[in-house]
Structure 1
Amino acid sequence: MHGWMGKILHIELSSSKISTIATQPYAEKYLGGRGIASRIYWETVSPEITAFDPANHLVFMTGPLVATGAQGATRMAVAGKSPMAFPEKYCYGNIGGFFGAELKHAGFDGIVITGRAAKPVYLWINDSQVEFQDASSLWGNGAYRTADILVASHGEGARFLTTGIAGENLVRSAIIFGSHQSTSTAGFGAVMASKNLKAVVVKGTGKPTVADPAKLKELNRYTIQISKRLDLTVPPDTTMSGHGHLLERIGKGACYQCGLDCIRNKYRYGQRSDFEGYRRCQSMEYYMPWKYSREDEPVETFFNAPTLANDYSICTFELRNMINWLYECYKTGSLTEAETGLPLSRIGTREFLEKLLHSIAYREGFGGILAEGLARAREKLPERARALLNASVLPVGEQDPGLPRSSVVHALLDPMEPRMSRPIVHGGFARAAWMFHQMNPEMSPITTEVFREIARAFWGSAAAADVSSYEGKALAAQKIQNRSYTEDSLGMCDFAWPLTYSFSKPDHVGDPDLEAKIFTAVTGVPGEEIDLCAERIVNVQRMIMLREGRKVPEDDFPATYNFTEPLKPAGPAMVPGPGEKPVNVAGRVLDREKFKAMLREYYRLRGWDEQTGIPRAETLSTLGQDDLLPVARK
């Protein structure tokens, strides 16, 4: 097998049994990454198993492109029953950096972990040698201290996954923290610790083979050449709030063998050489003092906020939602310092953040309620505080509450996922490039006409470019999902991929076939196979969600307010329309009958029953998924 290593490590912690599973039977239908992880979950985790049950399986899966040198192919999927989801159910995360590549160097495509160790342990993988090591001395340490000890013990090239105090105390939003400031959400840090597993450490000397190295090298050059796009290396919330001067990029922070620009970089904060470090994406912005009228707060508060959260291992998506809500509660008198034991009057300061994180991680006082997550905390809150919980807050992540009304395709996409779908949001960068052109044509060459050609190439029709209409959106949703699931399964980074647009190509339209070309160069497998694999991955996730209680078609509808409450955007609400001029979607509501027709068309394109959204028997049979039929027939 080119690209794949051929085996998946299987760890049974209760019995200390170590074995392997052949990758090929899974890879032929599900590629790797999220695809194989979802399939293994389907086979091993029944609906009655809870997140902290030893029988829950925690699955780490790389993709066939990882560690091959393919650009932007550094990611590893994480899947299992999520304690963060409400109610507990299947969910997935994704982690970058170096661990996934090192795991393949050690000879494994993934790790499946089940059971619970009798005492704290960590897993040490040294090429084909796999051992349980005593982690009693590591228990009680934060993520950074644990990492330092492990790297000192196993050498500088060792890559790790671990979790901090929040994971050990089963805080539902606890993350997995990995080498190179990488993290995975959905509460899998708590699942890991519930199994008495403090860390996984890996070192390897092997590497996957590549079917056509010369072709891969050529495609890598081409990828880098056409990847010139918007400069998003400084997070947008920082720049748009007028605080871009606090962040200076002083170096790249690329993941393994990646030469593409991204938002993971080395930054200098406040022009201070003593405040330099690698930071990534959203976690940089979850705690911005000026947002809470703290312009005088030292810059180190902004600098240290991601480190503090990662060390405790608390999800910054959850924290951002939580802190914003607490701020509103304090301003309106809906919660007091006496009720919470938190210095709410000091929100925006380091003092407040440290107190909040400590109380959540150790489940102290009001922090014990917050440790259950905002979705569950509702039941224990006074009505006045409960009323301020934002509709955009999801149990796992967040969403733009206006997106289904301002971009109709999201009315289909968003409800289909078990969590906030970051890849699907990132797939919209072409629209961001169009918006920049509307503001200043010198900033972006993506005109409405170019955007229309992008829609034709990537989303199936020029009609998909009119984001305010219902026409072409069912097909667009199918294509966007298929590409997103494929990239998650190949191990591709959703910030780098897909290359929907390019500043350096004459027509400025990206290459819709590039992922398939790279897949073939690495594996030797025809590129069209990934389309069939994408359909299978979508179906297996659909069947998991149905088995775990999803109601169809009701749960495929966006929230009711999208049909009843006119869109009230905070700023300009101009989107690409049917002509050259932008369309203003302020005041828009979804049309329920048009949405129903669009949903039925989407079901039909998927080969699902048009009334119920349940995959048809003939669809599953054609794709070789007959074993899913019993659930489909219920």
Structure 2
Amino acid sequence: MAETYGWAGKILRVNLTTGEITTEDDTKYHEYIGGMGMGYRIMYDEAPMDLDPYDEKTPIIFGVGPLTGSGVPCSGRMNVTFRSTWSKGKSIIDGHIGGHIGPMLKYAGYDGIVITGISSTPVYLRIEDDQVSLEDASAIWGKGTFASNKWLIEQTGREFESASIGPAGEHLVDYSTMNTSFGNSAGAGLGAAMGNKKLKGIAVRGTGSVKVADPQKVLELSNYMLGNLIGGNNNHNVPAQPQSWAEYSATSGKNRWSGAPGRMWKKAPGGPIDTGEQPYNDINKIALRCFKGYFDFGAPAAEYTVKNGGCSSCPIRCYTEYDIDPLADYDLPTHNSNTCMPVLYGDRVYPYGLHDFKYEGDAKLVINLAWAHAVDDMGVWDNYGNLNRDLQWFLNLPREEALKYVSAEEYDSLPWEWCKAGDPRWEVELIRRMAYGEGDLSVIAKGTLAMMEKFGLPKSWLDRDDGTTNSNLMYNGYPNHHGPAEAWQVGMLYNLVYNRDCMVHEIVCETGSGAPFEVTKKVMEDFFGEGCYDRAKAYTPINENKVKLAAYCVNDKNFHDSATLCNWMWPMTQSPSKERNYKGDLDLQADFMTAVTGETYTQASLQETGEKITQMLRAMTAISFQLNCGSANLRQEHDAICDWVFDKEPDFQAFEEGTTKLDRDDMKKAIDMFYTHYGWDLNTGVPTRETLEKFGLSDMADDLEARGIYSQSTAAAETTAE
């Protein structure tokens, strides 16, 4: 095997049915970068969409890219590719996980793990450099992720990194996760995919390193990035509170650069810490910027904060860690942490309201951190808030209406006295029932589509706009992820591409950055062209530069999940530096790729590779929709937009200042332009043969033709013409 830089150079293959463990050279996958791109190529080559997601031949593919483990800032990620059991089409999806396990896999000498087969008994995968084995996990089958990860480390050693599934995955609950030791999780149903294979977890120790082609250049680029470009979490480039060095503070008064003088970590070991000021060019204070707890909960967060934690090689410590001591009164764990959805919407399951616990205004914090710990421990995924929203919908129904969906016995067995008292044990009990699949209500954790089918809810149920409980942009069973309300037509377009919430943050990093609109608009238009960037609630009709920006977001995100970089922090679009006119450096990620791998990359070449991955995903999605939905017309079956997006806020007209609603004709034009940009058939949204061949994917084009999908495109065109 030739020496490579950046890449470890091999992947690990594990067959859980036979117990066979092998390795292979992975050079042929380098053209796909790694992570997501590698996972898609392996999935297509070895596990046709004809396979049921739970077939023993259907793989789970853990992948890391050349930048992970190299020391590049914000590169401690891992991508996991598998098949959906809960979203429309049962197509290809990914989970994404931070922490330290991705770099540790690289240190052990692997760019990925391909797991097939089904074990007859619970096992975990133990990796210590080239010593790899399947070990008995019967002792932790049935246990939560915190106890399981603790046990895995006790069995293997403190130098190991571990990740495991909880009861939700074991019971094949579609909304399930794999979690590392504290808070980092890969969702989208990965827990169920692993539970089906009886794979409880993974423990990894690597004593090697990642070979870097030009270490001095990596150091120079890192110092340049940290001293000039990096902002707060989600790359917010202006502090939320005024600081003496800063020209601007957040115009909204709130963003994730929330550290500031007087904002304290009051439970820090050794005494309270004042996060103080963090001049953008003082790299030793970067870790004080992201007081995510303050962003989420305001002043009460300071009373419970121990410190900020985060992922390998990342100075942005976005995981606020808490000691929520009031939870001890309910015999619940007090040490809690999370950074995203679990800390936002747990309070939605309390229709009777909340009460403060220890400090004024701390109700939402205490309840949401109890929720976060419980979902992490049970290995339950919230589908970017759909779990919370669907539960909220049900729990707000009058009893007589709720009994249309569950029995009186089940409804009355819920501990409503805890709900009415604002008791955190209420939410923990709901999560437990979801994780174990208990009762008819637990169908909510099988996904919105499964719930709608079981409860007999019509498709129009997703067309409602009730202000809180519906954010599904399409009819595919997953919600928007920073969609049109934050990114106009651009957000709608990039939400069309994936088979789960899109996980695209390229635009929300700008719209939520805190910088004045005129400053951000200039930066964005310098990069992406005039008219690409709109003011919030003052949207303009579609134009070519918006379409190009939407495609950039998709391709860039695909590169990040292949490299594997944190899409919450990359790319470096903006800067906190007044001297740079707040403009970032989009070429930086290509410069890092070149310095780490020794191969020449440009931003254009990374976009091309990202687009190749987009084309692979789209072709496989077309196949899976033909097999599972009876039609590969993705424009009709996959990309159809819910009516509420166009009909919301009836007192406003689209493009009128003050609304985020979209216009049907304008969006139809936008999709036409988006398809044209990508080389997809205008009637079906399927990549044309010419397009796939352009990206070296002629085998996929042959497959689409053999399946009659191109004939369907012709038929759709003829129907449209008639």
* Bin for the TM-score computed over the shorter chain: 0.7 to 0.9
Distance 1:324 1:371 in 2: 13
Q: What RMSD in Å do the two structures reach over aligned CA positions?
A: 3.2
Q: Tell me whether 1:266 sits opposite 2:321 in the alignment.
A: yes
Corresponding position of 1:257: 313
C-alpha distance 289-104 of structure 1, shift in aligned 2 (>3 A): same
Alignment of structure 1 residues 152-301 onto 2, 5 Å = 152-225=154-227, 226-228=229-231, 229-230=237-238, 231-232=255-256, 243-247=298-302, 249-259=305-315, 261-269=316-324, 275-288=334-347, 292=351, 293-296=353-356, 300-301=366-367
Distance 2:477 2:217 in 1: 40
2:557 aligned residue (452, 460, 484): 484
Corresponding position of 2:14: 11
User: Which residue identity lines up with residue 369 of structure 1 in the other structure?
Assistant: V
Deviations 1:63-108 (A, max 9, x none): 1100000000011111111223234221111001011100011100
Shift of 1:397: 4.9
Distance 1:627 1:168 in 2: 37
Q: Tell me whether 1:531 sits opposite 2:607 in the alignment.
A: yes
Moved more, 545-554 or 115-124: 545-554
User: Which residue identity lines up with residue 13 of structure 2 in the other structure?
Assistant: H
User: Which residue identity lines up with residue 664 of structure 2 in the other structure?
Assistant: D
Shift of 1:523: 0.8
1:455 aligned residue (521, 524, 543): 524
Distance 2:582 2:650 in 1: 33
2:618 aligned residue (542, 546, 558): 542
| Contact 1:287–1:305, Cα closer than 8 Å, also in 2 | yes
State the identity as a percent.
26
Q: Tell me whether 1:431 sits opposite 2:491 in the alignment.
A: no
Alignment of structure 1 residues 102-141 onto 2, 5 Å = 102-141=104-143
| Contact 1:287–1:302, Cα closer than 8 Å, also in 2 | yes
C-alpha distance 371-258 of structure 1, shift in aligned 2 (>3 A): closer
Distance 1:417 1:618 in 2: 22
Shift of 1:327: 3.0
| Contact 1:406–1:585, Cα closer than 8 Å, also in 2 | no
Corresponding position of 1:419: 500
| Contact 1:455–1:465, Cα closer than 8 Å, also in 2 | yes
Moved more, 403-412 or 498-507: 403-412
Corresponding position of 1:95: 97
Q: Tell me whether 1:618 sits opposite 2:690 in the alignment.
A: yes
Corresponding position of 2:378: 312
TM-score normalised according to structure 1 size: 0.88
Corresponding position of 2:667: 595
Distance 2:291 2:479 in 1: 17
Shift of 1:557: 3.9
| Contact 1:135–1:198, Cα closer than 8 Å, also in 2 | yes
Distance 1:312 1:241 in 2: 23
Distance 2:443 2:642 in 1: 28
Shift of 1:332: 8.8
Distance 1:216 1:401 in 2: 32
| Contact 1:262–1:495, Cα closer than 8 Å, also in 2 | no
Partner SS, residue 433 of structure 2? helix
Distance 1:531 1:406 in 2: 20
Q: Tell me whether 1:522 sits opposite 2:581 in the alignment.
A: no
C-alpha distance 344-240 of structure 1, shift in aligned 2 (>3 A): farther
Distance 1:23 1:220 in 2: 28
Distance 1:306 1:567 in 2: 33
Deviations 1:341-377 (A, max 9, x none): 3235644532321221222222222344334233202
Alignment of structure 1 residues 5-84 onto 2, 5 Å = 5-27=8-30, 29-84=31-86
Distance 1:338 1:241 in 2: 37
C-alpha distance 396-255 of structure 1, shift in aligned 2 (>3 A): farther
TM-score normalised according to structure 2 size: 0.78
Q: Tell me whether 1:398 sits opposite 2:479 in the alignment.
A: yes
Shift of 1:153: 1.3
Distance 1:147 1:537 in 2: 33
Matched residue pairs, number?
A: 609
C-alpha distance 396-114 of structure 1, shift in aligned 2 (>3 A): farther
Corresponding position of 1:372: 446
Distance 1:219 1:76 in 2: 22
| Contact 1:164–1:313, Cα closer than 8 Å, also in 2 | yes
| Contact 1:62–1:109, Cα closer than 8 Å, also in 2 | yes
User: Which residue identity lines up with residue 315 of structure 1 in the other structure?
Assistant: W
Corresponding position of 2:283: none
